[in-house]
Structure 1
Amino acid sequence: MNKGLTFLRDAISGSPAPAAPTDVSATRKRGPQPVDGTPGRARAVVDAVLPVVDGGRFAVKRIAGEPIEIEAHVFTDGHDVPRVMLQWWKEGSSTRQEIPMKLRYNDEWLASFVAPAPGRYAYTVVAWVDAFESWHHELERRVDPEDIRIAARVGAHEIEAAAKRAGDGADARMLSAWAQALEEGAADPEIDADVLKALALDEQRSDAARRHPDRSLEVSFSADLPLTVERKRARFSAWYELFPRSAGDTPGRHGTLRDVAARLPLIASMGFDIVYLPPIHPIGRVQRKGRNNALGAQPGDVGSPWAIGAEEGGHKSILPELGTAEDFRALVASAAANGLELAMDIAFQCAPDHPYVRDHPEWFRWRPDGTVQYAENPPKKYQDIYPFNFESDDWQGLWTELKSVLDHWIAEGVHVFRVDNPHTKSFAFWEWVVGEVKREHPDVIFLAEAFTRPKVMHRLAKLGYTQSYTYFTWRNTKQELTRYFTELTEAPGVDYFRPNVWPNTPDILHEALQGGHAAVFKSRLVLAATLAATYGIYGPAYELLEHLPRGPSSEEYLDSEKYQLRNWDWSPDAGLRPLITRINEIRREHPALQANRSLRFLDVENDQLIAYMKQSADGRDTIVTVVNLDPHNAQWGWVALDPHLLDIEPQEPFQMHDLLTDQRFIWRGSHHYVRLDPNLPAHVMALRRRVRDERDFDYYL
């Protein structure tokens, strides 16, 4: 055997020591700190870390148990190689987890981690110019024998330094021997340069050197970025709203919480996750509103549930006609037994006879005539509602008391809150109270009912609200829907603003529904349930096609149960309940519909048809939805769907399975014919990737 081969064999004999856990705290050594806070000799640049919300002022939102993808823009001067590490940790922990980031292209580095449970986390990126890695990368390209010998001696110096950082273990001994072999080999002219290069690039020993980097010139991104991790229901859920006082089965009788419990099996069978109740507290008698929002209440009028508080109590009390605290606890337990959660309405406002008005007059605005300023949104007036004054001298006492309301209902088993008009209350208060509640109870969900200006809605989401109402109710044309939902699924909003879309609410009967056309109710249902991972309906009004407005140009329901009792048909097959049930089944069966990021609109040559697709994160589930927006006529057109988006060859046939009708269509190529009748104005189709035989529609999943 020649001397070169013998040298190589002897130098690399034996096995390197196994990888040891990285002790980040022991290796992070800072040099002198110039003005920008980095060591003066540091050359790595961490230019950006994504996702980020307002430079790290607010938290990015993600779901527990799912990979969180982080991108960093890192580079250095010249041709040296940076090492880049993602660090993440749970709030309050002294230990940082560290993950190597991999270069994608254009100085963009990627890594991901999984936060196992809901809570508050943080992440950042650190980097340094890695002398060993730079040497290794440069040596790979060298071919001149003399250059290789010089490079080997340089590498020996770097490897010996790594051996000293490794301490007294097996890595240290192996690295020191490797460095010595390179020095000797470089000095021996009989050792072939290619043999020497092979030794220098030995991958197992290189990995050992990488385990002991010189991080003395490490730099960190300019901020530790906050991350809020929540449970899956924060991203994917179906809500059903009903008024407890209308849950009974006898006309004219005030419904109770026990009546609500009797409705839960039906609501669960329809596939909903959350049952949302308007306020259940005592209703004020002073300035009580009558039917259809009349200024004067008549005997027997029940008033608006949002006029909270009377002599029986306030925000921590239950309207006696609905039942007792024991009835409420039984309702929470019954919801859980049916696979449902109970959502409560939080409306931080008071009726004139709320105990707060008597006991804490400093919490309200008083007018010169000695009366309290009631709520107004001209031309609308709410004489039965007093808003809080968040500029009160006793603002701290007010904040503390309002948080105690949330604490009370959390103790009663409620972990989902729909908050009424949060945009009319202090932003500073919401940041504090939502933050405090979620620090103590990370699984609590807050839905912001703020139909207001976009920047205000987004600010509330940044402050900590889990979900937000949207403008979906007023987006009806193809162009409006496409533009709006494209905006909702783009950065930066997609990282913190989670839409919860509703085709109707007790306050909003859009003119599109006022014609009473079943086709409109059906199409809006499908749009809501498939465009967004979270949606809700106000029922039974929606599924029973309630459509009469209080008057011309009004979005208020005629005989709204906001002001009176109603009696509804609770039959399982009434109205749209079978369709709603099927839609919710499809949502639960298909991961593609359980998130928003993958939404992609598809071209279709008909403005009355809207088409879009969603895919699961792993790409195994694809749903294509096409909706006819014309309630009167059948519409047809050609949907453009590039097979490459589906990982399918251009002329390979594939099957689309309509999950609403169980029809199956064989598609091939990039343009596909569809025709939809108003009777069932939508296709919700799952992709079946392979077709055995186009004649019998047999398929593989």
Structure 2
Amino acid sequence: MTSRLATLLSLLLLTALFSCERRADDTPMVTATTQEVSDLAVEPRIPDWHKDAVIYEVNTRIYTPEGTFAAFQEHLPRLADMGVDILWFMPIHPVSEKNRKGELGSPYAVADYRDVNPDFGTKEDFKAMVEAIHAAGMHVIIDWVPNHTGWDNDWITSHPDFYTQKDGEITDPINPETGESWGWTDVADLDYDNPEMRDSMIAAMAYWVTDMNVDGFRVDVAHGVPVDFWEQATDSLYAIEPLFMLSEGAVPAIVNDGAFVMDYGWEMHHTLNEIAKARGAKREVETDLSNIARQEEDAKDEVTALAIDETLARQREDYQRGYKMQFTSNHDENAWAGTEFQRMGDGAQAFAVLTATFDGMPLIYSGQESAVDRQYEFFKKDQIEWGDFKYADFYTKLFDLKERNQALWNGEYGGELVKIPTGNDENIYAFTREKNGDRVVVIINLSGEAQTGTLAGDGYTGTMTELFSEDSAEVVPGMDISLEPWAYRVYTNK
């Protein structure tokens, strides 16, 4: 048994939770969570700007008719005005042609780690865009794909020993539980038993920091790579300068050890989808999901807002540091599970309010600010229909509040989420957060019917302003509340 396989199997045996996600080629993958922390834990060097940041996922291929860095650059002023702090670019590298899926292939089949997709422009175009982003007061992280490469990658011929081999042949990624292919046939699996490959991967990542001025990485399939590699890699990367590191998976080990500051709130996202389905908000999804195992597809009618507390409790038990990225959509969800409107129906904005004020950093995916109810093509050119940016003001209000009210800051910089009982907690989710005298009280009807309740608990008394109506109110225990279906109120003292 190789040490890499042993590492993966050990990780799976220690799993506290398994959740099924989809890769960009429409096949399931397993993410595992564990509380194991290596003796090689690193001390992260994290930039100060992450503490109150909001993240926005950029799908360059579909963002503009041109699909280029230069064309995207024209959107920077409105994104900055909306309160976006971090721009996460889906893979910017050339896409392999060999074994590609669809017309343009998956951007996660990387042909060259040190170049950019010519469809997007040149490296000079990318550097100019990064400079413009920084000038606008925002920051750049790029998607990094360390688990595998495309079949056109130069490493295939120059370093075949960098890859996992089966019967003497380089193989696509293998499920360690079954020994069978995941079905990601457009990519070749990298072998992390090879020290030279590890060094080459770290050197390629460092290039984008030192030469291309990126501010960090969102790491694809981070959970498929040995934990000790991330400790090795981030030790080297943090030595260059402070960086922001986001893991796609949900593995506490690589957050607790300091390698990553944030990972995905996958379990919370599935919980919200389950609530939406159980409360009658979900619509039928047009995409054929017959081959996709989805956690929320098994949701039972009795799932209520109380499931949020259960999910949050598990998260608090597993994680000793870092925080979650909270979202109602991303590129995987949009392409394979449906838009936020298909999954959450009339409750889409209510869930967006929750993810923007909850414990963690909120994410917006390309097009959400225009309320685009469309699944984008993944393997060929598609186009976002921007319209009148219907939800831009909605998100601007939420993100402006997050910046000015420390209670909503990220991780240890923000206030702890404290549940407020309402006497109707199956339908109404209410909580308060406080930090350095800044406070919010959030009340959301997570059902398709009008609801009433009475606030209980203590510690949140005061005159506050409701964010969206701008009405002033005395928010106190004993306050009666009445909410229309999927209605929400966000009270702030600042």
TM-score by length of 2: 0.78
5 Å-filtered alignment, 1:343-354, equals 343-348=141-146, 349-354=148-153
Specify the alignment match of 1:79 in structure 2. none
Which amino acid letter does the alignment assign opposite residue 72 of structure 2? V
Q: Residue in 1 aligned with 2:332?
A: 507
Q: Is the 8 A contact 2:55 2:362 kept in 1?
A: yes
1:602 pairs, out of 395, 417, 420, with 420
Amino acid at match of 2:253: H
How far does the alpha carbon of each residue in 1:33-91 deviate from its partner, in whole angstroms, 9 at most, with x for none?
xxxxxxxxxxxxxxxxxxxx9899476xxxxxxxxxxxxxxxxxxxxxxxxxxxxxxxx
* Structure 1 segment 199-238 matched on structure 2, within 5 A: 228=44, 230-238=46-54
Q: What is the alpha-carbon root mean square deviation over aligned residues?
A: 2.5
2:19 aligned partner: none
Q: Secondary structure at the match of 1:375?
A: coil
Displacement, 1:397?
Answer: 1.1
What one-letter code is carried by the residue in structure 2 that aligns with 1:304? S
Structure 1 partner of 2:305: 478
- Quote the Cα distance in structure 2 between the aligned partners of 1:535 and 1:633: 26
What is the deviation of 1:355? 0.7
User: Cα distance, 1:566 vs. partner?
Assistant: 1.8
Q: How does 1:68-217 map to 2 (within 5 A)?
A: none
SS across alignment from 1:382:
coil
C-alpha deviation, 1:435, in angstroms = 1.2
- Name the CA distance, whole Å, in 2 between partners of 1:277 and 1:54: 30
Matching residue of 1:407: 206
- In structure 2, C-alpha distance between the alignment counterparts of 1:277 and 1:515, rounded to whole Å: 25
2:239 corresponds in structure 1 to 439
Question: Counterpart in 1 of 2:61?
Answer: 245
Q: Secondary structure at 1:321's aligned position in 2?
A: coil
Structure 1 residue 567: Cα displacement: 1.3
Determine the structure 2 residue equivalent to 1:281: 93
Contact 1:628 1:678 in 2 (8 A): yes
2:364 counterpart residue number: 537
Structure-2 separation of matches of 1:304 and 1:446: 23
Question: 1:598 is matched by which residue type in structure 2?
Answer: E
1:316-360: CA deviations, max 9, x gaps?
A: 001111111110111001111211111100101211111110110
The aligned amino acid for 1:484 is T
CA drift at 1:467: 1.1
1:255 paired residue number: 67
> How many angstroms apart in 1 are the aligned matches of 2:150 and 2:36?
38
Structure 1 position 523 matched with structure 2 position 363: no
**What's the counterpart of residue 373 of structure 1?**
171
Q: Contact 2:430–2:442 (CA<8 Å) still a contact in 1?
A: yes
Q: Which residue pairs with 1:622 in the alignment?
A: 439
Provide the C-alpha distance between the structure 2 equivalents of 1:351 and 1:388, rounded to a whole number of angstroms: 10
- In the alignment of these two chains, the number of paired residues is 416
Asked which structure has the greater RCO (Cα within 8 Å, sep 6+), the reply is 2
- Match of 2:403, as an amino acid? R
Shift in CA distance, 260/512, structure 1 to aligned 2, threshold 3 Å: closer
Post-superposition CA distance 1:235-275 (Å, at most 9, x none): 43211112112122x3xxx4111011111112112111011
Q: 2:478 maps to what in 1?
A: 671
The residue type paired with residue 306 of structure 2 is Q
CA deviations on 1:526-547 (whole Å, 9 max, x unpaired) are: 1111112412122215742435
2:382 maps to which of 566, 569, 575: 566
The answer for unaligned runs of 5 or more in structure 1 is 1-52, 60-225, 291-300, 548-556, 649-653, 688-700
For the 8 Å contact 1:485–1:531, the answer to whether it is kept is no
Match of 1:496 among 316, 321, 325: 321
Asked if the contact 1:461/1:467 (under 8 Å) is kept, the reply is no
Q: Corresponding residue for 1:659?
A: 467
Greater radius of gyration (CA): 1
Describe the shift of the 1:232–1:676 C-alpha distance in structure 2 as closer, same or farther (beyond 3 A). farther
Report the equivalent of 1:581: 396
- Structure 1 residue aligned with 2:16: none
CA distance in 2, matches of 1:272, 1:612: 25
Q: Is the 8 A contact 2:70 2:129 kept in 1?
A: yes
Report deviation, 1:663.
Answer: 1.7
Partner of 1:332: 130
Contact 1:462–1:497 at 8 Å: present in 2 too?
A: no
Q: 1:566 to 1:481 in 2, by over 3 A?
A: same
Equivalent residues of 1:521, 1:545 under 8 A apart: no
CA distance in 2 between counterparts of 1:569 and 1:237 reads: 27
| Number of the residue aligned with 1:685 | 491
Superposition deviation, residue 574 in structure 1: 2.2
Q: In structure 2, what is the equivalent of residue 128 of structure 1? A: none
Distance 1:379 1:417 in 2: 27
